[in-house]
Amino acid sequence: MCGLIGLLCPSPADAEAARPAVVGAMRCMRHRGPDESGTWWDAEVVLGFNRLSVIDIDHSQQPLHWGPPEAPDRYTILHTGEVYNYLELRAELIETYGARFDTDGDAEAIVAAYHHFGPSAVARLRGMFALVIWDSARREIFGARDPFGVKPLYYASGSHGIAFSSEKKVLLELSGSLGNRPRLDHKALQHYLALRYVPEPESMHDSIRRIESGTVFTVTPGGQLVTERYFNPTFRARPVRGEADSERLYGQISDTLRDSVAKHMRADVTVGAFLSGGIDSTALATLAKRHNPDLITFTTGFERQGYSEVDVAAETAAAIGAKHVVRTVSAEDMMANLPLIVWYLDDPVADPALVPLWLLAKEARNYVKVVLSGEGADELFGGYAVYREPLSLAPFERVPGAVRKAMGRVSTKIPDGVRGKDLLRRGALSIEERYYGNSRTFRDDQLRAVLRGFNPRVGHRDVTTNSYRATAGLDPVTRMQHVDLFTSLRGDVLVKADKIAMANSLELRLPFMDSEVFQIASQIPLEEKVTRDTTKYALRMALRDVVPAQVLNRRRLGLSVPIRHWLRAEMHDWARGVVLDSRADELIDRNAVLRLLDEHRAGTLDHSRRIWALLVFMIWHGIFVEDRIQPPIPEPHYPVRL
């Protein structure tokens, strides 16, 4: 899993001067690599790596050098994540090119593939990764990020060079060495409040950006970063004609998922699994148990009725014969842990599930070093309830445009909270206007009331336009899936999966986020994804022989956190204190936020999602801008190799 840092300077003198700063900045991400640390430098480049050892534990230290016989140290690689088909890739390189390998890990396979195949080698990698390769012959850095964006990669440039890192806080530490002063990005803030995350390639600091998912890049000393997208997720449903054709589709889904789980179980340490009461995690745990007879599963839940799947998960664990660990979460846990979690996130993410996920990962790390988790299944197979919205809004499509616009105007006159208002409002809009990802929080009219300097030209279309343009002609559900792949999946779901697991030095593996799984999922026709009765229909049918019947058709609950109730009771005074203590007055209207809290406590309206987004930002601002909040950062100890 690990954490990387790379600094490319315009001159050897700049690199020499920056070396101590690079070594110091690595301490900000010790949690990503508590097992060992290493640095290496060349004339214009300084590279550092914190390692979490999972495969080839006694070898494969990074920065790792590799090259052909005539130049054995030509390349130096930094690679975070896991490439699960590295054994097959190594065998191909040995058989076809006579490639040599000195370790049993995946990093050598990646760099050897780059040598022989060039940038196209990245498309052969099956896994999650962010990588940087220094080519000493060409004096060039080549890098890439995995297709879906599981592993993060930030970059910042300045007069003294360009730096890359797995964590933004590392680049904030290095900002002086780069000759820049990061400032808050107001556009990113407005996007965050609308979407509850900062969309790629933005970050909340204007001079720090992210390499986008599915992208490769090159840069030379003193040169400009050049990027190119190598992966464009394309949904092209194939027609299903008859029962036999449907069964073939289900069989292909089942076979591909079984293969993905088998490859994700490759490790030299124990692999466990997160387990909820849903179909996705249940399938992964059941399949994983076949590879690890001593599988341990982990579940989190809440004492409040209707917000926990603990009992169902426990039944599933017992049915498959897995040892099971439960971590129950309270309102006190939410309040106590949020500041530290926000520090680990780098940028604010207003997803309350972050806290129970944090506590679950922390508990799991007491038992295992790697866990499987079900992120991505909903986006690929059509699992979100909102994907059924086009079915309920279909009658609106037959209404003339002028009438629909009039309906939209009528909806604005209906008070908030009145049943049917939102349906009428959304039915009056085109899909491009109404859907901008599964994580939306503030509408523009709501945002204008709390955000100082609200800019009407900054909106969700900044984020979704390209997705809708790429899916013109496809059905509405598929278009929504494509939007989510480029918005909430990589901005919310995968960010919290990576950041929270790595904060606890835990490697989270996602078998649904696999290129082969996507290949088959992208072919599923609309009628096999959502119906009026269920979601993920094809996946459910494919897993009939894997998932227990009581789980197969359960309503999806997910990690639903009862903040709506807690913000009216146990957490109200705490939330009010966060608002009153915040010094973000030039950005957020404090009185408007207090009014939201009062209205929510009175029970007249549910503002919980919006309040949570504002609270998370205020805590983030207190940490990264005001330097007022200083969470107690754990100090892991591990051998340092400098």
Q: Which residues participate in catalysis according to the annotation? A: 2
Residue ranges of alpha helices (H) inside 414-460 are 421-427, 431-434, 444-447
Amino acid identity of 54? V
Bridge-based pairing of strands 323-329 and 296-302 is parallel
Closest Cα partner for 324 from 367, 380, 387, 354?
367
Name, in order, each residue with C-beta under 8 angstroms of 364's C-beta and a sequence gap of 6 or more.
272, 274, 296, 298, 325, 371, 504, 506
Smallest CA-to-CA distance from 181 within 160, 200, 201, 206 is with: 206
Tokens linked to 336: 């106590």
Phi, psi (deg, nearest 5) at residue 365: -65, -15
Place of tokens 């002063």: 181
Take residue 434 and report the two structure tokens written for it: 């109404």
**Residue in the block written with tokens 């890359």:** 164
What residues does 184 pair with on adjacent strands? 205
In sequence order, what are the beta bridge partners of 129?
Answer: 81
Residue 147: count other Cβ atoms within 10 Å of its Cβ.
Answer: 26
- Measured CA to CA, the distance from residue 488 to residue 516 in angstroms comes to 21
Buried b / exposed e over 252-282, threshold 16 CB at 10 Å, is bbbebbebbbebbbbbeeebbbbbbbbbbbb
Bond preceding residue 415 cis, omega within 30 of 0 = no
> Which of 135, 167, 375 lies closest to 274, judged by CA?
375
CB atoms within 10 A of CB 251: 12
CA–CA separation, 419 vs 9, rounded Å? Answer: 59
Q: Contact, 506 vs 498, CB < 8 A?
A: no
Phi, psi dihedral angles at 7 (to 5 degrees)? -125, 120
Strand pairing class (226-229; 64-66): unpaired
Query: Alpha carbon of 439 to those of 197, 442, 454, 616: distances in Å?
Result: 8, 10, 20, 15
Helix boundaries (H) for 528-603: 537-542, 549-552, 563-566, 572-581, 590-602
Mapping DSSP to helix (H, G, I), strand (E, B) and coil, where does residue 392 land? Answer: helix
CA distance 562 to 331: 9
